[in-house]
Amino acid sequence: MRVFIPGVDGYLGWSLALYLAARGHEVAGADAGFRRRWVEEMGSDSATPILPIEERLLVFKETFDGELRFWDGDLCDWDLVEEIFTEFRPEAVVHLGECPSAPYSMIDREHTTFVQRNNVMNTLNIIFAMRDFAPDAQLVKLGTMGEYGTPNIDIPEGFFEVEYRGRKDRLPFPRQAGSWYHWSKVHGSNNIMFACKLYGLRATDVMQGVVFGTRIDEMGDDERLLTRLDFDEAFGTAINRFSCQAVIGDPLTPFGKGHQRRGFLPLRDSMQCLTLAVDNPPEASEYRVFNQFEETYDVTELARKVQKVSGDLGMDVEVINVENPRLELEEHYYTPDHQNLLDLGYQPTHDVEAEMKVMLEDLLRYKDRIEAHKDALLPQMRWDGRHEKVHYLK
Ligand code: USQ
């Protein structure tokens, strides 16, 4: 299948290009290099060394004996989107080309408006390009579990049956996002749901949990194929940050009370699920929602697991809670459904500690790279708009 990946230079995008190419798909991608610049803006760098995109493309060709067609540019630029769709004629689009960071979107007005404009606008451009140039193609859009927030009831996969004043309907489950970034994803989801009705497009909205891990099997022992791994306060996600903290001997930092519960999944599971969505397209006009995570975990429970696995590898690390820079519930009910992908054959990696071990061993090799940017680890961007480093709570 011809698969177009917006955001192909990112953490998920690069991994997915390798994963799909290894399975015989023809892959093309676009990227404006935003992620590299955002992380630099945060005073950080990927813990894993990554090649410039031009060199990545050469290594891809050498590895898979086929080209990854690439467009260097911003998908908010309609002319570029039109060119890509008319030249490549994708059969599937896996949209990973958005700014993925809640903290980044909370920095100030400029960052909020940038994230929302970028995410909403490039998704609309993709919708119109599909309507005009690839109406039978399918869209796999990366949503986020964070769109639902943390309601005090179970979370279905997108829709639920509701009875109100004696009448029943199947309606979208309420969204209660907790950052401007997460709201941008809600807006994207709503726009796609509408486009499916309006233009007969087919789309899968993947409500993905927090991804962690340094590798997928397709990277093998070739360092040049590694994907990026961020650990700064904006682009590093919880387990990835805890693992980087562990290898440099910094305390692991659950925020606040540390009982926030989220869905997590290893990078390799994310690849498996996105590919299952691609391989099993929805019907025309169908907008379907998959909640995508392996299991839900409490943030402190995860920090303790990273601490334990680090201990097995001879590292002695502490877990110390820090002030929570975010506005979020720190103890709450959280029970989302996640059956749709299992029905399609998703086989979750249940051994989270084994996955952590692989990541920690990888990161130990790049300890110096993390050490060089360790100032980026402790958050300073607070949801109330103040920029002030958080304090340890002990
Ligand atoms: N957290 C800590 N300590 C840390 C880092 C995070 O306690 O050092 C907590 C956060 O307060 C939050 C939870 O861990 O309660 C998850 O935070 P995160 O930074 O790992 O993830 P989040 O900001 O929610 O965003 C990430 C991705 C985003 C994706 C989302 C899925 O960056 O692109 O949409 O995970 S979800 O969390 O399910 O909404």
CATH number at residue 21: 3.40.50.720
Give the sheet arrangement for strand 295-298, strand by strand. 210-212, 261-266, 295-298
Q: Report the nearest atom of ligand 1 relative to the CA of 179.
A: 23
Q: Give the per-residue pLDDT at 37.
A: 98
**Band of pLDDT at residue 60, cut at 50, 70 and 90:** very high
Q: Report the nearest atom of ligand 1 relative to the CA of 211.
A: 35
41 to 98, 104, 124, 235, 376: CA distances (angstroms): 17, 10, 27, 11, 10
Q: For residue 394, give both structure tokens.
A: 């002990």
Tell me, using a 6 A CB cutoff, whether residue 102 lines ligand 1. yes
Determine which residue's CA is closest to atom 34 belonging to ligand 1.
Answer: 144
According to DSSP, residue 217 is labeled: G
Q: Is position 185 annotated as part of the catalytic site?
A: yes
Q: pLDDT of 14-55, one tens digit each?
A: 999 999 999 999 999 999 999 999 999 999 999 999 999 999
Q: Give the per-residue pLDDT at 394.
A: 80
Percent of the chain topping pLDDT 90: 99
**Residue in 22, 16, 21 with CA at minimum distance from that of residue 2:** 21
43 part of a folded domain: yes
318 pLDDT more than 90: yes
Q: Which of 104, 181, 287, 334 is catalytic?
A: 181
391 part of a folded domain: no
Q: pLDDT of 87-129, one tens digit each?
A: 999 999 999 999 999 999 999 999 999 999 999 999 999 999 9
Q: φ and ψ at 390, to 5 degrees?
A: -75, 160
Residue 215's contacts (CB-CB under 8 Å, 6 or more residues apart) are 226, 227, 267, 268, 358, 359, 362
381 part of a folded domain: no
pTM: 0.98
The CB density around residue 85, as the number of other CB atoms within 10 Å, is 21
350 pLDDT more than 90: no
- What kind and span of H or E run contains 273? helix 267-279
216 part of a folded domain: yes
Tell me, using a 6 A CB cutoff, whether residue 263 lines ligand 1. yes
According to DSSP, residue 345 is labeled: T
Range of the domain at 86: 2-376
In three-state secondary structure terms, 151 is: coil
In three-state secondary structure terms, 161 is: strand
CA of 226 to the centre of ligand 1 (A): 22
Tell me, using a 6 A CB cutoff, whether residue 289 lines ligand 1. no
Q: Report the nearest atom of ligand 1 relative to the CA of 145.
A: 38
Cα 233 to Cα 292: distance, rounded to the nearest angstrom: 23
Tell me the β-bridge partners of 350. none
Q: Which of 123, 185, 275, 334 is catalytic?
A: 185
199 to 76, 83, 96, 158, 285: CA distances (angstroms): 21, 21, 22, 20, 7
CA of 88 to the centre of ligand 1 (A): 35
The CA-to-CA distance between both ends of the chain, in Å, stands at 54
**Pairing, β 287-292 against β 202-208:** parallel
Mean pLDDT over the full length of the chain: 98
Tell me, using a 6 A CB cutoff, whether residue 211 lines ligand 1. no
Residue pair 84/28 in contact by the 8 Å Cβ criterion = yes
384 part of a folded domain: no
215 pLDDT more than 90: yes
According to DSSP, residue 159 is labeled: E
Q: Give the per-residue pLDDT at 308.
A: 98
Tell me, using a 6 A CB cutoff, whether residue 255 lines ligand 1. yes
67 part of a folded domain: yes
In three-state secondary structure terms, 171 is: strand
Cα 283 to Cα 200: distance, rounded to the nearest angstrom: 9
Q: For residue 28, give both structure tokens.
A: 């093309």
Tell me, using a 6 A CB cutoff, whether residue 236 lines ligand 1. no
Residues in the chain: 394
In three-state secondary structure terms, 324 is: coil
Tell me, using a 6 A CB cutoff, whether residue 186 lines ligand 1. no
**Band of pLDDT at residue 275, cut at 50, 70 and 90:** very high
343 part of a folded domain: yes
Average the pLDDT over 356-374 and give the result: 98
388 part of a folded domain: no
- Residue among 12, 141, 144, 328 whose CB has most ligand 1 atoms within 8 A, to mutate: 144
Structural domains in the chain (count): 1
Average the pLDDT over 71-75 and give the result: 98
